[in-house]
Every structure is written in C-alpha cells, then in structure tokens.
C-alpha cells in the first residue's frame, strides 16, 4: 500500500533497523521503544487488522513472533507480546503488527489494565453474547 509506512519499510524506501526477514515476514526495531530491543513483527503483505489477515499469513507471522521472542529471551527475563486493532485500541499504523517487548522486573513499563468486575449474572450474558458471535 503506497501510503503505508510499514510497506515503505518493507520496500526499504524508508530506513529501519531490520532484525530478521523471510519470504513472508519482517522484524524491525520500533523507532520509539517501550524498552530497549522492542521489535515489531509484520507480514510483508499489507493487511490492516487481525480481522483482515488470512489465517495462513497470520500463522507465519506468529511463528516469527515466537522466533524473535526466543532470541530476545536469551538476554531478557520476560516478554510482552502486544497486538492492537483499530483506533479505539490505539492502533496507530494500519498494517497489522505484533509488538514484542523485552521485559524485566523494574523496567518502569506498565503494559497493564485496571482490573474490572462483573455485576451478578453479567458475565453469563456477556459470555453468551460472545459465544453466539463465534462463526464455526
């Protein structure tokens, strides 16, 4: 896609610190890392979100996520894998990507959420609503 910054990174039109590349996927350093070594893993074909990417492509991307997580785990005790879809989830770049973020006990990052709760029977109705939305 011509105006996509990650497509331009794939085509090397704009520079990035590439960590790994194969036929279908690319890994490069995030320009504004949450922690040092923060990587982005993307498919080489342009798809916007997890809803758009075909399953076989997604499988290849997740295999690369594991490969890079393995590499990072040699020097980091923990790893957060984050993937956001849509503006409401703060997706900034509309080319599906997985963040692989090296973690250590006191790295100063939160990457967490406020714990909520359900009212009585609310979890049952929400669970039913989700179950009925699953397509076989």
Residues recognised as catalytic: 97
Stretch that binds ligand 5GP, among 28-36, 58-66, 67-75, 103-111 (CB under 6 A): 28-36
| Residue that the structure tokens 């794939």 belong to | 10
Rounded Cα distance, 2 and 86, in Å? 20
Rounded Cα distance, 132 and 136, in Å? 10
Selected from 84, 103, 107, 109, the binder of ligand 5GP by CB under 6 A is: 84
Residue 20 Cβ vs Zn ion, minimum distance, rounded to whole Å: 18
> Which partner from the list Zn ion, ligand 5GP, none does 59 bind, CB cut-off 5 to 8 Å by kind?
none
Does residue 62 interact with ligand 5GP by CB under 6 A?
no
Residue among 54, 23, 22, 20 at smallest CA distance from 40: 20
């Amino acid at each position: 896609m011509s105006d996509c910054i990650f497509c331009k990174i794939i085509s090397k039109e704009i520079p990035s610190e590439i960590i790994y590349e194969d036929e279908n996927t690319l890994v490069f350093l995030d320009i504004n890392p949450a922690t040092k070594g923060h990587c982005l893993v993307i498919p080489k074909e342009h798809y916007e979100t997890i809803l758009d990417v075909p399953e076989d492509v997604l499988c290849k991307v997740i295999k690369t996520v594991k490969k890079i997580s393995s590499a990072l785990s040699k020097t980091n005790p923990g790893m957060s894998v984050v993937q956001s879809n849509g503006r409401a989830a703060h997706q900034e770049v509309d080319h599906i990507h997985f963040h692989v973020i090296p973690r250590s006990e006191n790295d100063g990052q939160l990457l967490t959420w406020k714990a909520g709760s359900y009212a009585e029977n609310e979890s049952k109705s929400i669970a039913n609503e989700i179950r009925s939305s699953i397509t076989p």
